[in-house]
Structure 1
Amino acid sequence: MELTELIESSIDFPCLSGILGCLMLSVIYVGSLYVWRSPLDRDHPSVIKRRFFSVFVMTLFSPLSLYFGINEKFYEGATLWELLGIRWPGIIQAIIIPLCLTMVLFLGPLYMQGLNGLWRLYVEPTYWLGSAKTLVWWRNQIIAPLSEEWTFRACMLPLLLQCFAPSTAIFICPLFFGVAHFHHLVENTRRGMDFKTALLKSCFQFAYTTVFGAYAAFLFAKTGHFAAPFTAHSFCNHMGFPDLSEVVAYEDSLERAKLLLLFVIGLAAWCFLLTPMTNPSWFNNTLFWQKHITA
């Protein structure tokens, strides 16, 4: 057997090209944020606007990797839009159910917001109108979730699912997402943070973004809808990472115990409901989760 034949027989080129495509998307996505050289902070309006343009270009570019890297035999009969999770059947369920499921996970933080009076603020139209006037809100709640879920889930996961079982692909996919967040290391050092602290912060961010990325990938694979991880991502950005130090700071020991219990109940309920509330049949999804890799 010739060397080229040996290599071809030992390497699954569609899978290799899919993984390389995911890596390429990650590098280009992060690179697009820094193509504009500026000493200004990431929250400065001019920086945000430039990055909006960058991710807009990425949103147009990202599906090309899926278009050229997909195995048509594996997804026989599926359109590119369906692979990207853009379809009508099951769309309402894909918006509401994952959002409710994610809210269950944040049971403790949501209760804390109620204690702090934020729920009353949420019913005020002026709150949302004021938020919608700020570029930071648009970045955190709309543009970042949309562009990241589009690139790191909708355009990557179908490539991985043609090579790996869903239970494997949903843990590989977020690694690209988590590593991509290491670019905050550069921004934190620019702000004057010492390198060691910035590195530790970035490692922590890598950990929780990878965990969330696995959850988002799970939602995409189970529902077959882009809307599912997008709504969950936007909600998580709104809530932020749960602040347990605020719970510990409560002077009332009974209230503190109640809050900690709600955190635990929320996590336990989320784990219990995760599989039944993402039944693919509820979302008319026969594209991803039921697929099996054949030899």
Structure 2
Amino acid sequence: MALDVATTYGFQGPPLLKLMGVHLEGIVAATCLPLLLTMVLFFGPLIQLVMDYPWDFIDGVKMFLDPRFWVQCLADMRWMRNQVVAPLTEELVFRACMLPMLVPCTGLSRAIVTCPLFFGVAHFHHVIELLKFRQGTVAGIFLSAVFQFSYTAVFGAYTAFIFIRTGHLIGPVLCHSFCNYMGFPAIGAALDHPQKLTIIFFYLLGVVLFFLLLFPLTDPAFYGSLAVCHLTRPDTSTSVCT
């Protein structure tokens, strides 16, 4: 039996699209600030990239501003899958659709923790592919799957937090696309780098700045009313929404 929010909690529920984070109120901040916050977290890897490939970085900025570059990207099916289709569909399902259903049942904090578990499990199909094509030992494949589950669950919790704090889908989608592009930080390469102390400093600086800016840059005041926060029970703490 479908959950009738208005009947259960005694108020008229927000529009469906707004619950799913699809609206224009606060759209500029929702597009820029979560992505900026995620780039701060990747400060170390970005500095490492600039140090190792300075000309590639400059060329990359020039290419980013060239319309022909985007035409080539849109024609590349792998790029479309990793940077557009996967971020959009996964955030739509696991954040925009799932969180509004979980929040009335679990509350905000538990929804942020619970939702990413489904997101992590959804990536276990890679195990079947690796086993089918025998790309590694069984133990190695399952260890890789556990590792992937762990970091996808943590990332899912982060984008769930962004979704609830901003009330927008665009932020999680852009953060997801950026993380797909960057990949998991090459910590081993950083530790073996000739200038490892400098790079490690920027890695740590990025993490510290990320936690310092996490709440200020996701302050709901930038983004307007948060529809999903109206789904909580009256007796449930909504500190995530303030």
Higher RCO (Cα < 8 Å, 6 or more apart): 2
Change (3 A) 1:261 1:289: farther
Question: Deviation of residue 70 (structure 1)?
Answer: 5.5
Taking structure 2 as the reference length, the TM-score comes to: 0.87
2:53 counterpart of 1:111: no
- Structure with the greater alpha carbon radius of gyration: 1
Opposite residue 119 of structure 1, the aligned amino acid is F
Alignment of 1:197-208 (within 5 A): 197-208=140-151
Does the Cα contact within 8 Å between 1:220 and 1:228 map onto a contact in 2? yes
Does the Cα contact within 8 Å between 1:121 and 1:127 map onto a contact in 2? no
Taking structure 1 as the reference length, the TM-score comes to: 0.72
Opposite residue 207 of structure 2, the aligned amino acid is L
The runs of 5 or more residues in structure 2 that have no matched partner are: 236-242
Question: Deviation of residue 224 (structure 1)?
Answer: 0.6
2:73 counterpart of 1:131: yes
Give the distance between the partners of 1:292 and 1:187, measured in 2 at CA: 40
More helix by share: 2
Give the distance between the partners of 1:192 and 1:276, measured in 2 at CA: 47
Question: Deviation of residue 284 (structure 1)?
Answer: 0.3
Does the Cα contact within 8 Å between 2:94 and 2:115 map onto a contact in 1? yes
**What's the secondary structure of 1:209's corresponding residue?**
helix
Alignment of 1:105-254 (within 5 A): 105-115=41-51, 116-117=53-54, 118-122=56-60, 123-124=62-63, 125=66, 127-193=69-135, 194-250=137-193, 252=194
Question: Deviation of residue 288 (structure 1)?
Answer: 2.8
Within the candidate set 202, 205, 208, 1:265 is matched to 205
2:40 counterpart of 1:97: no
2:227 counterpart of 1:287: yes
Identity among equivalent pairs (%): 38
**What's the secondary structure of 1:274's corresponding residue?**
helix
**Residues 122-159 of structure 1, C-alpha deviation per residue, up to 9 Å, x if partnerless?**
22235544333211100000000000000000000011
Does the Cα contact within 8 Å between 2:127 and 2:145 map onto a contact in 1? yes
Give the distance between the partners of 2:89 and 2:50, measured in 1 at CA: 31
Give the distance between the partners of 2:107 and 2:117, measured in 1 at CA: 16
Change (3 A) 1:70 1:173: farther
**Residues 190-227 of structure 1, C-alpha deviation per residue, up to 9 Å, x if partnerless?**
23222211111111000000000000000000111011
Give the distance between the partners of 2:69 and 2:122, measured in 1 at CA: 32
* Residue 218 (structure 2) aligns with: 278
The runs of 5 or more residues in structure 1 that have no matched partner are: 1-16, 18-67
Opposite residue 135 of structure 1, the aligned amino acid is M
Give the distance between the partners of 2:215 and 2:4, measured in 1 at CA: 27
Opposite residue 82 of structure 1, the aligned amino acid is K
* Residue 86 (structure 1) aligns with: 22
Question: Deviation of residue 289 (structure 1)?
Answer: 3.9
Give the distance between the partners of 1:221 and 1:143, measured in 2 at CA: 22
Give the distance between the partners of 1:129 and 1:257, measured in 2 at CA: 40
Give the distance between the partners of 1:244 and 1:165, measured in 2 at CA: 36
**What's the secondary structure of 2:227's corresponding residue?**
coil
Does the Cα contact within 8 Å between 1:98 and 1:232 map onto a contact in 2? yes
Give the distance between the partners of 1:113 and 1:70, measured in 2 at CA: 50
Give the distance between the partners of 1:133 and 1:121, measured in 2 at CA: 20
**What's the secondary structure of 1:85's corresponding residue?**
coil
Question: Deviation of residue 79 (structure 1)?
Answer: 0.9
Does the Cα contact within 8 Å between 1:170 and 1:218 map onto a contact in 2? yes
**Residues 5-51 of structure 1, C-alpha deviation per residue, up to 9 Å, x if partnerless?**
xxxxxxxxxxxx7xxxxxxxxxxxxxxxxxxxxxxxxxxxxxxxxxx
Question: Deviation of residue 293 (structure 1)?
Answer: 1.6
Moved more, 124-133 or 194-203: 124-133
